[in-house]
Structures are given as structure tokens and as C-alpha cells.
Structure 1
């Protein structure tokens, strides 16, 4: 594999580990836990893995002997910077415990386990991928592990390879599936441990135990660099309004973090839209008002950040989507094979009157997308809805109306951007390189100490790395019951932007000034070498949440 000079230099970077993972390790266990909600239902579904204690790894004087073991690893779902370092952390800790231990990678996601598609990960292979972005070491996929037949097919290859532990690196859905798999194998006494790792650039896999999901730091810094470049261009040309949609279907963490880093004129936060029960027209009027106010000062330019999942948070559209998901799940055979026009007609006849009226009011392109194929989790594929163009078109119409009424005197020239894939496979920042390596090391320690149904965690990450706290949290602790594809299922509760949280309150206190004035910040590219305050800094979100 040919490498750039940066790749060669990054390969030599040694990720920093917390003291609890550097030498001999002992386990400190906390009190029994319970799920965040629906305790009785979750306990019935997970009798073998419910109520386990929190785990923390601490330095020890005692040297342990570890028998050789074989471990499997899976990358599940969308890519996130640092995934390779999780695998490197697992590999290095396994080899440190016993050089005879082996690590197998299942290829192209959970489907590799079911299809028995794998390769052994040796030192020569691992060393090629240290501190690199992407998931190309073993690939990823979105196959959902939720059926008994899949569990049994997986067990066949695990037994064949003498694999006694499996690490699933993924987001909330993937880790929910890891929890289900752990329970299934525990109930069967199959002799296979299952451990999860928290991954998603969206930032919505976090709670009291998980400070942040890996990849969020790098992705936001990548997007912030490009947004800063666009803002510099906008401030130079002074004639364009840039509508920038950012990844984040279920929460607005990315948009909010990028706003805190870049100080755009407008940032819409989906959770606020829902809380205030705002309509699409109210959002458009707010944006148009900012454009008009800046135009009155001679500033016919600016930047507007839009979260990818905004459309789902507008209350009327959220109600529509919920009914659409249930209808299309229940009547899949009936609508299968129909073209989009016929599906639209069928929906208009079968939706409740209020939701049918909302559906008919939407632009045709948006209505078509809501009617089309769902993602593997049964959700609308909102990333394909061009919300940035929809909003700019509606803002343009509103400004044209105001111009006729003498309320607006400027020029409105919109440009559109969608930043998503650009941030998913970037070379991990020092923070993500360290955090992911520590997560992988924690996963290996959880396995060595006989744990199953746990997610590896690392806390206190705004402190120097030596003071980070590594351990594990029972996945059942994070579960609640939610409606998915027409049925109630146990899932990890998503973390939305908290409107009473420090990051949003910090943003809200400054947004009026950012809207009226040009307060742009230009963060520049991720720095890998140099002063710690530049290279090792966390996201603004994490610093504010941890009061660091």
C-alpha cells in the first residue's frame, strides 16, 4: 500500500493510554444497574445480562497470567474516524496478555459473521492501519443481527474458529443488537462473550457513562474546517448565502458543535424546532428575517447550518412520518412494486386526514422521498431529502414577497452544500486516535475478565490521557422500549441535544449577535503535531458538558 508522508508519520504515533490500562490491571465493580426506562420489560427480555455492575479498570501490583484466546471483531454501520484504532487496541492488549491469542475480523459488517466471511488479523496487517481513517481494514455493513437463524449461523463459525468472544463496534442499533446477541449466547451457555464499542459521528450515542461516541471529534473538526473555508470565501466575495446541511439524522449534535466552532449567521437545532412546535413556515421566516436584516446593513452574504434530520423534527411532519413508517411496514406486500405516483395515491387514501393534508402540502420531491424505500432500520432516508434546497427555495419566495411589500431591499443568491461522507473516514484526530485505542484496550480487558453484554467505555477525557478512566457499562443499562417498524422493541435510548445543556445555552446566548454581525471563526485543518492545546483539544461540546 502506497502511503503519503502524513500517513507514514501518523503510523509512528503511539496513542496515549490511561494509567488503568498501561500495566497490570485489576477490576473494580460498582453496584448493580437497571435500565434507563421500562425496567420490568427489559429485565424479562434480558434475564441473563440484566442488572450487571459497572466496571472500572485500575492499576494493580498483581501480575496475572492469561490463557490464549481467539476473539472476533465486527465493524457495523456507517464509518467513523478511529475504527481502526479500536481494532489496534484490541489486538495489542490481546497480544500483551498472551502472544498466542488471535484476532479475527469478520468482513463487511455483521453479514460477515452470518456468511462466515473472515480473515485473521496479524501484526503485519494491523501495522498498516494504525491511526488511519476509514473501515477498509475489514469493511463494514448494515446487516442487523436480530434473528435466531443469524445467531446460530454465527455460532457455527465462532465454534469452528474457537472464538470465545466477539467485539461489535457500532452505533446505538448495532450495540442494541450486540446486547441481544450476548443474551442469546448467555442463555444457551454457548461460551461466547459479546462486547460493544460506542461509534457514531452523529454524537447521539452518549449518556452518563459514555461521554462521547468515537468519530464525532474528527468529523466535526473536518466539517468545521470546510465551513470555515466557506465563511472566509463568503466574507471575501460578499454575495452568496451558503445553505450547509450537515450529517446527523436523529440529533443536531454535529450542527451545534460546528456552530460553536465556526459562529455562522444561522444554525437550526432540530430539537428546539420540536420543543417550540415550529412549522416549516416559521423556520423559513426566521431565516428570511436574518437575511433581510443583514441586507439592510449591506451584507448580502452569510452561512446557514441545517441538521440532516430537521424535516423529521417539524411536529406536523414527524407525526406524518410516524404514521407512514407504520403503514408501509404493515402493508409492505400491498405497496411493493408500485411506482411512486401510485404509492402517493395509496397513502393519501390511507393516512389519517390531518397527516394526508400535511403530505399533500409538501413539495413533490419531498413527498416522493417520504414515500420511498426505508433504510435497514425502517426509517425514512432523510439524507436523501435536499432540505437545504427546500429551505433556500422557500426563503427566496418569502424574500420576493417582502420585496414587493418594500420590506426587503437586498440580493439573495443561495449556494448549497451537504457535508456527510467527507467527515466519516478522515484520519482520526489525536483525541479520537487515543480514545479509540483506549476503547479497544478496554474491550480486551472486559473479555479477559469474563464480561459479556458490556460496552467498553472511557471517561474523564477532557483531562490528560493518563487520568482517563477506562471500564465497561452493561448495555442493558442504556435500553428502553421504543416503537420500531410497527412494533415495540428494546433499543439504546438516543441522546438528543439538551436545550438546558451548556452547549446549547452557550450557542443560544450568542446567536443573535452572530445573525446580525459577521463573527465568523475559521478553525483551519486538524492538527496532528504541535502544542497539546492545539493538537489534543476536545470538541467544544465535550468541554462545555464536562465544564473543562
Structure 2
């Protein structure tokens, strides 16, 4: 028998809150359809690619009298991509919805993500199994995977396996790439005259799957609060020991939403925002100088300690580093045979310097040796630099140290600088979901069932007005094609759901800009503490500060 902690047991018994419209008997919920929609951009191209599913209306669910008969159905569900707190509750909401409509309905979980679809590797999700995972973190009930569904052969196999199981619908729980796959699959099924529906759910702790109808992706709230607790603990330790500068790298490969949210919650001395760095065309040297200036000003007050937050993908947003990485990828790919026969590390570095353009050679030479090595040795199966493995925290700490040594020699700096590096990533992906994420995810799953019940396909489950209490949320769905544009992938233009980066004109970032100069030189740290599950609603049920600022609360 599995070991169960008191908190685990209590969370199993937590009853997620639903929007009022979804609290009705199933036969008293109706779908209200709006006007036709179009894609975010590249309308004509996307319309030609999605002839069967383009232009569908936005849907919202309201109280009313439904004339539908709820026959028993079979639904498949997959978890796709990296873990995010709340995934199990999406499945729970979906499970409860189909069972309340008809107890004879069945839910199948495909194991290991999309590969489970291809291999017909699945389990039936029963009440006993579901009850073991309600309100818990992780994706361990059916696991996840990153297999991409791209080829006609793959689509044929998925359709064949879905038919063997007699599925009525498939729910894809994932991020922008996974939901792009879902949109393509929905179109493919339609083109084959298959009635199997495809519904998506917005998942990613990075927070980059969002728009006016997807106000946040699930897992972002919990992950940001988990990291913020750790950052607050480190800030308190720094204030106590008064001798370390902590450089903290945070998850967020393409967008800096997590870094920004954690900064708003904890008030670090420096928080770098990748999108701002790119827009301002900041060099690596100017990024280093920004941090060093905070160190120097605080040292004048006798404060030789501090906290710096760094987005995981920062290095790719620094224009000169972005250019260097592009050149390295091309160089190592084009001359792989010549490069691979060099065994001595120093010779490899020397060879790289002799084959880069002059500007990139200078940038490469300015980097610490360990970073030079990471740029040429750690590569993915496609031959590209694995940016997430580059220790940006150590890179910046090392370069700030060099900057301060020079300032010390020139008599401009008399403080002490002892840096420590951290990376907070996996710590937040499978945490117990916050009450917000537990409620949000359950409602997303329940809404997915309603989209299926109303015969819709090619939609993503949506909840709006998330700054309000859960009872006031507006449930519905938007067409996946509405979120798309065309982007160049592997040399070809492909339809994809656009990633949402930090809006530099948005209220959360502008609020951050107004107060960060004070944070840089003062001890104004905030300590969010651990996520609370039981107590006053203002302590336990609130969403992120990003969401509050965006919604004018």
C-alpha cells in the first residue's frame, strides 16, 4: 500500500470550486456560440491549411435548458510535454463530467503522452485510480512525453488506434506545440470524415500560452509561488549571513513570465527580463554592468549581499550571443567531421575561434572557459546548442566578478563579492497545485467535457475573469486556429500557436519598472512563504500578481 502523508490525504478530499454556470445539473448548461473567428495572423495561409476547422465561433457556457441526450461515450486523454502542477485535476474534471452525464462513459489515459497514442498503450481511468491522484502534483498517473505528431503515417496510426478503441473524443493537455498538434489532428480527422473530436487544454509553467481568452496557462501559479518561496528563503538567508550574492536562474526558455512574477512577489535586487534585453539590444557587457552597479551601490552601504533573478533563456535574447550561437550551430553542423576528430579541449576552442566571424570570435573569447565548453560540447540531436544547459547564473557571476576586480583596481569599488549560483526548475513542475490551480484545472477538465458534449472539435478549453472568485469565472472554448500564425520551423513555414512573451507595455512589467531601481539598492525583500491550502481566501485562493495587475485588480 502506498504511503500517504496527512497533507496528501487532505488534498485528496479537497473539493475544487467550479464556476456557477458549471455547478448546474448537466441538462441545465447550454453552449452559447459567438461570431466566426480568424487566426491571430496569416489568415489566408492558415485558412487554406485548416479548411474544416477554421473560422469556428467562440463558445461560452451558461445556465439554461439543454435538449441534448447524454449517451455513453469513450474519451481518450494524453499529457504532453513537461510537467505542470494541476494536470491530474484536468483529468479529474474531465472524468467527473463524462461520468455525471452518463455513468457508462469511459475515460482512457494514453501512457507516455503522444507515443501512447501511436503505440495504443493505454489504461482505463477508474474511480479508484482517479481518487488516488485528485489535487496532487505530477503527471505520474499516465506520465507524459514529447513525441511530435507530424507525419501522415503518424496521423493514420492515431486514427486507427482511436477507431479500435471506438473513441468519441481525444483531449490533449499540453503547451503551444502540443495544442498545435491537437489542431492539426482535429483537422486531419475531419478531412478523413472521422467524427472523433479533439479538444486542448492550456498547460505550461512558463506562462507563454496566453491571450485574452487564455488568461493564464495552468501550473504557472503554483510553479511561480514555489520558486518565490525559495527565493524569499534565500533573500532572508542573504540578509542574515550578509556575505553572499545569489544568482538564481529560473525556468522560462522562451519567455520571462516566471522571472517577472517571482520578482513581483519577492523584490530581488536585480531581475533580468529577456524580452527587454533583446528590445534594448543590450550586450553581454551591459547586462553585466547593470548587475555590477547594484553590487557596487549596495557595497557603499556596507551590504555585500543580494539576489539576482535570471530567466533560463536569457542568453538567447542577447543579440551578440544569439548571433554567436547561430554561427556555432552552422559551423559545427557544416564541418562536423573536421570538428569531431579534435579530441583536445583547448584545440577545439582554438579551432572554433579560428572559424568564427571576427565579431563572434571576440564574444566567444570573452566568455569564461567553462561556458565556451558548454557552447561547443552540449548539443541536442539536431546539432544545436542546448541553451537550457548553459549555466547562465555562473556565467554572469563570473563576469560580474571580473568587472568588480577591475573597478577595485581603479579605486571605484571596495566591497566584497562572493557569488553563489542556483537553478530552480524541476522543483516547481510537480508541486502540490495551489488552490487556484486545483480549481482552474478541474474547471478546464470539466469544460473540456462540455465542449465534447456539444459536438465541438479543434477547440481549447478556456476560463476567463480569473482574477475573480472561481464561482464567477466564465467557462467556454476558443478555436485553436484562432491562436495561430505561420513561423519558420526547420526551414519551412508551419502553422503554430504563437508564444506569448512578456509585454513590455503591459501593466505587470511597467509596475516592475517603476520600483526596480529602489530594489537595486535597498533591502526591500518580500517573503511569500509556502503555498497555503487551508485558511482565509485572501491567503489561500489568490492567483498571481501578474494576473491581478493585468486585470486591474
Same-fold status (TM-score > 0.5): yes
CA distance in 2: counterparts of 1:229 and 1:396, whole angstroms: 24
The reply on whether 1:431 has 2:431 as its aligned counterpart is no
- Report if the CA contact (8 A) 1:266-1:304 is conserved: yes
C-alpha deviation, 1:399, in angstroms: 0.4
State the shift of 1:381 in Å: 2.6
TM-score (norm 1): 0.95
Task: Check whether the contact 1:142–1:376 (CA below 8 A) recurs between aligned residues.
Answer: no
Report deviation, 1:336.
10
2:11 alignment counterpart: 10
Cα offset for 1:22?
Answer: 1.7
1:289 to partner: Cα distance: 0.7
Hey, what does 2:271 align to over in structure 1?
267
CA spacing shift, 1:47–1:522, aligned 2, 3 Å = same
Summarize the Cα distance change of 1:484–1:323 in structure 2 as closer, same or farther, 3 Å threshold.
farther
2:410 corresponds to 1:405: yes
Deviation at 1:256, TM superposition (A): 0.5
1:81 and 2:85 are equivalent in the alignment: yes
Residues in 1 aligned to 2:195 and 2:438: alpha-carbon distance in whole angstroms: 32
Task: Compare 185-194 and 131-140 and name the one that shifted more.
Answer: 185-194
Determine the structure 1 residue equivalent to 2:204.
200
Q: What SS does structure 1 have at the residue aligned with 2:59?
A: strand
Give 1:49 deviation, angstroms: 1.1
Equivalent position to 1:467, from 457, 460, 472: 472
1:542 aligned residue (525, 541, 547): 547
Aligned residues: 547
Q: CA deviation at 1:353?
A: 5.6
Show the counterpart of 1:188.
Answer: 192
Q: Is residue 111 of structure 2 the alignment partner of residue 107 of structure 1?
A: yes
Change (3 A) 1:431 1:393: same
Q: 2:232 aligns with which of 228, 235, 247?
A: 228
Instruction: Out of 109-118 and 312-321, give the one that drifted further.
Output: 312-321
- 1:321 aligns to what? 325
Shift of 1:191: 2.1
Unaligned runs of 5+ in 2: none
The aligned counterpart of 1:422 is 427
Q: Per-residue deviation at 1:103? A: 0.4
Q: CA–CA distance in 1 between the matches of 2:358 and 2:279? A: 24
Distance (Å, rounded) in 2 between the aligned partners of 1:376 and 1:461: 40
Counterparts of 1:446-457 in structure 2 under 5 Å?
446-457=451-462
Question: Residues of 2 paired with 1:445 and 1:348: CA distance?
Answer: 59
Give the secondary-structure state (helix, strand or coil) at the position aligned to 1:232: helix
Aligned ranges for residues 13-412 of structure 1 at < 5 Å?
13-23=14-24, 24-62=28-66, 64-322=68-326, 354-355=359-360, 358-359=363-364, 361-371=366-376, 380-412=385-417
Q: 1:440 aligns with which of 421, 431, 445?
A: 445
Q: Secondary structure at the match of 2:144?
A: coil
> Equivalent residue of 1:87, what SS?
helix
Gaps spanning 5+ residues in structure 1: where? none
Q: Structure 1 pair 105/16, CA: closer, same or farther in 2 (3 Å)?
A: same
Range with bigger deviation, 484-493 or 298-307: 484-493
**Distance in 2, Cα, partners of 1:324 & 1:55:** 47
2:246–2:307 Cα contact (<8 Å) kept: yes
Segment of structure 1 superposing worse, 338-347 or 27-36: 338-347
Deviation at 1:155, TM superposition (A): 1.5
Partner Cα separation in structure 2 for residue 175 and residue 490 of structure 1: 11
Query: Contact conserved, 1:369 with 1:385, CA < 8 A, in 2?
Result: yes
**Which of 485, 492, 495 is the aligned partner of 1:490?**
495
> Is the contact between residue 325 and residue 486 of structure 1 (CA under 8 Å) also seen in structure 2?
no
Q: 1:352 to 1:407 in 2, by over 3 A?
A: closer
1:377, 1:59 → 2: CA distance? 51
Distance 1:292 1:79, change over 3 A: same
The answer to whether the Cα contact below 8 Å between 1:480 and 1:491 also exists between their aligned partners in 2 is: yes
* 160-169 or 419-428: bigger deviation: 160-169
Report how far residue 355 of structure 1 moved: 4.6
Normalised to the residue count of structure 2, the TM-score between the two structures is: 0.94
C-alpha change, 1:514 and 1:118, in structure 2 (3 Å) is same
Partner secondary structure for residue 552 of structure 2: coil
Offset of residue 193 of structure 1: 1.0
d(CA) in 2 for partners of 1:385, 1:36: 33
Equivalent-residue separation in structure 2 for 1:327 and 1:27 (angstroms): 55
Deviates more, 1:53-62 or 1:139-148: 53-62
Residue 373 of structure 1 deviates from its aligned partner by 6.0
Residue number among 501, 507, 518 corresponding to 2:512 in the alignment:
507
Contact 2:79–2:173 under 8 Å retained in 1: yes
RMSD of aligned residue pairs (Cα, Å) = 2.2
Q: Give the secondary structure class of the aligned counterpart of 1:163.
A: coil
Query: In the aligned structure 1, how far is the partner of 2:137 from the partner of 2:290?
Result: 38
**In the alignment, is the contact (CA less than 8 A) between 1:378 and 1:484 conserved in 2?**
no
- Aligned mates of 1:334, 1:158 — CA distance in 2: 44
Give the direction of change, closer, same or farther, for the CA distance of 1:186–1:507 in structure 2 (3 Å limit): same
User: 1:35–1:320: structure 2 CA closer, same or farther, 3 Å change rule?
Assistant: farther
Matched position secondary structure for 1:66: coil
Q: CA deviation at 1:9?
A: 0.6
1:325 CA displacement: 5.4
Residues 377 and 496 of structure 1, relative CA distance in 2, 3 Å threshold:
farther
